[in-house]
Structure 1
Amino acid sequence: MNALHTLRSVVRGRVLLPEDTGFDAAHRPWNLAVEQPVAAVVEAADADDVAALVRYSRSAGLGIATQPNGHGATGRTNGAILLRTGRMDTLQIDPDGCRARIGAGVPTGAVQAAAAPYGLTGLPGSSPVVSVTGVALGGGLSWFGRTYGWVADSVTAFDIVDAEARQRHVTADTDPDLFWALRGGGGDYAIVTNLEVSLHPARRLFGGRMLWDALHAPYVMEAYRQITTTAPDELTVWMDLLHFPGSDPMVAVDATYLGDACEARDLLSPLEDLPRPLSDSRRTMSVAELGSITAEPTDPGPGMSRCELLTDLDDATVKTLLAEPIAPLLSAQIRHLGGAFTRPSDSPHGPLSEPYALYLFGVPSDPATADAVTAKQRALADSLPVSGRKPLTFLNPTETLADAFTPATLARLRSVKRRRDPHNLLRSNFPVGG
């Protein structure tokens, strides 16, 4: 441990060791149900700091696990130095070129706020606090993915520090293999310090949530199927079965439409025939307000998730989903995919042929509840038409990259890893080796 004290003379950013005040909070992942043992925490000031840390770690024989704020953490960090990139928060918008240069620690909400005044958008997911870099390295499912594809598809360049501490600018032309691996293959191949992405037109946006008592779930489901069967690519609709502690079960429909309100309401008209909702937040909104739709927590907390890609949402699937309450789960969310997700993508995952994603989430408040959540997730997954593959950004700590990629893709990613980081200095949440 004494050798780690020299870290403070190596980097300009803050260094925290296990005996330091604040270490526990600094090394904690976003998901508080995950234990994340590390040897030290380094909050890098810039890319030079990252390069200095890589040189130090190579000489000390210590791995580096990189996280902006710990989303997607799996606890596979034992003995490594945890590199926090949250201070690397450069954000530059080029409205004329429809591009953004984004530091490794910048959250999606900040990009949305900066791009909105120009009538532009990035590709944000449901939470505004997740880093753009983390999402892109995992492929990334966005509210606007049906129109523009994977988040990674919009990345045009990476600034990286490699396993030999070299700072490089990586594009499809300068290093096609590494560029391909970073666009959705995880963070096992280099440390990303900045990325450049294409921004997309979003001059009009309609969105929000409708909420009903769960008694109406069969009718909401039927309307949801009707809407998603014919939805244009500009329309994204999710359905949520919800059961929060201390409240009655509910069902919600969340939607965004890249167009005007009249068109959106017409496309969503089957919802108007349903019983009066408990609430309806749908309105014309800014792309900077997308996080308000699902209002996900913006502070860390414990959770257990499981995602499956559904090959169908037929009558049998609906019957299974609605057969009994979702408890002890808090939510069972169905996301409509299709659209641009089905088109060719030069990324590790490639196109998504499955029309829907199912995301099952619960809180392990105690060991018995944790076991019950896992059992419920497994029972649902085993009884539904699932493809067996799932998006990398939705993997849980018990899963590996083999759950996301085909054997051929995994073999190619492992080849990139062997050539770029033969000593396994860089430790991602989901190591490509297994």
Structure 2
Amino acid sequence: MEINDLVPTPAPALDPTALAALVRQVQGPVLVPGDEGYDAERTGFQLAYRHRPAVIVGAECADDVVAAVRFARDQELPVAVQATGHGLSVATDGGLLISTRRMNDVRVDAAARTARVAAGVVWGQVIEAAAPHGLAPLNGSSPGVGVISYTLGGGVGLLARTYGFAADHVRSIDLVTADARQLHVTMDSEPELFRALLGGGHGFGVVTAMEFALLPVARLYGGQLVFGGEQIDEVLAAYLRWTETVPDELTSSLALIAYPDIPQLPEPLRGRHLAQIRIAYTGSAADGEKLVAPLRAVGPRVSDDLREMPYADSDTIHRDPSDPHTYDGDNALLSGVDVEALRRVAALTGPAAPVMCVVQFNHLGGALAGPGQAGAVGHRAARFALRVLSPLDGSDLATVRALHAEALAVVAPWWLGRNVNFLLGRHGERPDAAQVARSVHGAEEHRRLAGLRALHDPENVFRFHHAASGAADREPAVAASVPR
């Protein structure tokens, strides 16, 4: 049983005539609690929390989304959306859930170097479709993450320092609004809404499709350097020095993981505290070898698989888990940091920690600090991101969040805010949810986006997102409805 099923809430009564009409109107399935397939449809990648809607519409096309939103308005139901379910800030309880996983069309225009994707597409599909043309999207580390919400949250990916945020390369967005209209949103047609969607996109409607640029990247030099726990202090110092020297063509991160001593893990990982440096470089392999020499000079590695690879193999750089599981996480965007602070974070989250932690330290800057499309991505000046994640199987959520807060407090002198895509768990329901929401963009930009959401959704149909508890100037809370 996941955390939000511990105290079930009775579903509201639905008008059977209206429900039967909805079933006739949509191509996909319509499910209510007790129906076969209901539990599977509401379950995403994040298993600690699940939506508990009164009705689910498994949309197969934009017209299905329109019908679902119209039904929800008539029945006075709030709307949530789920594609892959990697990020779930606020779970719907008794509302309508639109599942977009069946909307999986991908079209690549090789001549224009663009891709158009439907709402349920994941990055692996785009990578596969673009690769034969020598092109690549600005995807993240995991091929199983949904394209839409990742991009609307900004999107810090494998090529981020070279090309910037994924949101900076969006050409158009198809949106179903709160009054069940379909809009084709571009910088020319709806400039204010378009800019708001790029980085602040949660809560303006249901995104059904998106077109974005592809980049001429067919291959990478990359992989992992893995060091043992006894080298972590030296690795942190070397990595921090190294980030001052590398070109924008190189994007990297450093992960610290204290693996449990359990038989399910491979022997080289079991019970070890490891530092993993992940590298993606768009230059030549020969130049890449020269660039990583200072890191290899730290000493022996547990493993070292740096190599030239086709971009289609880029998921092997981070090796993110592909199986659904339970987790919660927080993050901080930083103007800088010193090595002693990183060492303190490593000690707090290492083998002596009360719960298992995965710490990731991302090197930002480069093209990420550029103006982009003048969108709503927050804190572009950040030089680093510090992320802390813990599995929740058998772990108390309060203990996990207290540890994460303690670790992030260490870097408070450099704190700028948070990245919305790295808020993992139901942060919209935290006691400090308003502060969390404002930290994504800053107070002034948060108020501007809240005003735009109120303009585009005056009846607050879309109310399931971290921003829902963060808009003090609007009651009931501002919400979100883009698939994740």
- TM-score by structure 1 length? 0.95
- The alpha-carbon deviation at position 75 of structure 1 amounts to 3.0
Cα deviation 1:273-324 (Å, max 9, x = unaligned) = 1222111122111222221222111121100111111232313323323445
Supply the distance in 1 between the matched residues of 2:224 and 2:291 (Cα, whole angstroms). 15
| 1:133 matched residue in structure 2 | 148
1:379 maps to what in 2? 406
**C-alpha contact (below 8 Å) 2:260/2:356 kept by paired residues:** no
Please, which of 24, 41, 49 is the counterpart of residue 64 of structure 2? 49
Distance in structure 1 (CA, Å) of the matches to 2:464 and 2:414: 27
1:40 maps to 2:55:
yes
Aligned-residue offset at 1:88: 1.0
Aligned partners of 2:444, 2:201: CA distance in 1, in Å?
16
Whether 1:264 aligns to 2:288 is yes
Contact 1:17 1:41 in 2 (8 A): yes
> Structure 2 CA distance, aligned partners of 1:324 and 1:394?
20
Offset from partner CA, 1:62-103 (integer Å, 9 cap, x none): 121111121211234122111111111111111111111111
For 2:274 and 2:445, locate their aligned partners in 1 and report how far apart those are by CA, in whole Å: 40
Report the Cα distance in structure 1 between the residues aligned to 2:390 and 2:109, rounded to whole angstroms: 40
CA contact (8 A) 1:206 1:258 kept: yes
1:427 to 463, 480, 483: 463
3-state SS of paired residue (2:116): strand
Q: State whether structure 2 residue 383 is matched by structure 1 residue 361.
A: no
Percent of paired sites with the same residue: 34
Determine the structure 2 residue equivalent to 1:390: 418
Instruction: Describe the shift of the 1:324–1:134 C-alpha distance in structure 2 as closer, same or farther (beyond 3 A).
Output: closer
User: Aligned residue pairs: how many?
Assistant: 433
User: Structure 1: how far apart are the matches of 2:96 and 2:107?
Assistant: 29
Q: Which residue among 209, 214, 222 is the counterpart of 1:194?
A: 209
Question: Where does residue 296 of structure 1 map in the other structure?
Answer: 320
For 1:230, what is the secondary structure of its paired residue? coil
Structure 2 equivalent of residue 3 of structure 1: 15
Contact kept in structure 1, 2:52 and 2:94, CA below 8 Å: yes
What secondary structure does 1:121 align onto?
A: coil
Letter in 2 for 1:376: L
| Between 118-127 and 25-34, the greater mean CA deviation after superposition | 25-34
When the two chains are superposed, the root-mean-square deviation of aligned CA atoms in Å is 1.8
**What is the CA–CA distance in structure 1 between the aligned matches of 2:454 and 2:296, rounded to whole Å?**
56
Using structure 2 for the length normalisation, give the TM-score. Answer: 0.86
Residue 179 (structure 2) pairs with residue 151 (structure 1): no
2:452 alignment counterpart: 416
| 1: CA distance, partners of 2:322 / 2:145 | 9
CA contact (8 A) 1:329 1:360 kept: no
Alignment match of 1:26 (pick from 16, 41, 45): 41
The amino acid that maps onto 1:254 is: R
1:120 to 112, 135, 138: 135
- Look up the match of 1:319: 343
Contact 1:37-1:75 within 8 A present in 2 as well: no
Deviations 1:191-233 (A, max 9, x none): 1111000111213311101112111112222221222111111
Matching residue of 2:103? 88
In structure 1, what is the Cα distance between the partners aligned to 2:236 and 2:406? Answer: 20
Mind listing any 5+ residue stretches in structure 2 that lack a counterpart? 1-12, 262-270, 428-432, 472-476, 478-484
- The residue aligned with 2:358 is 331
In the aligned structure 2, how far is the partner of 1:418 from the partner of 1:309? Answer: 28
Note closer, same or farther for the CA distance 1:9–1:325 as it changes in structure 2 (3 Å cut).
closer
Task: Provide the C-alpha distance between the structure 2 equivalents of 1:378 and 1:16, rounded to a whole number of angstroms.
Answer: 39
**CA 1:313–1:271 in 2, change beyond 3 Å: closer, same or farther?**
same
Q: Do 1:343 and 1:351's aligned partners in 2 also have CA atoms closer than 8 Å? A: no
Rounded to whole Å, the distance in 2 between the matches of 1:117 and 1:259 is 20
Deviating 4+ runs (over 3 angstroms):
322-325, 431-434
Question: Equivalents in 2 of 1:350, 1:372: separation in Å?
Answer: 29
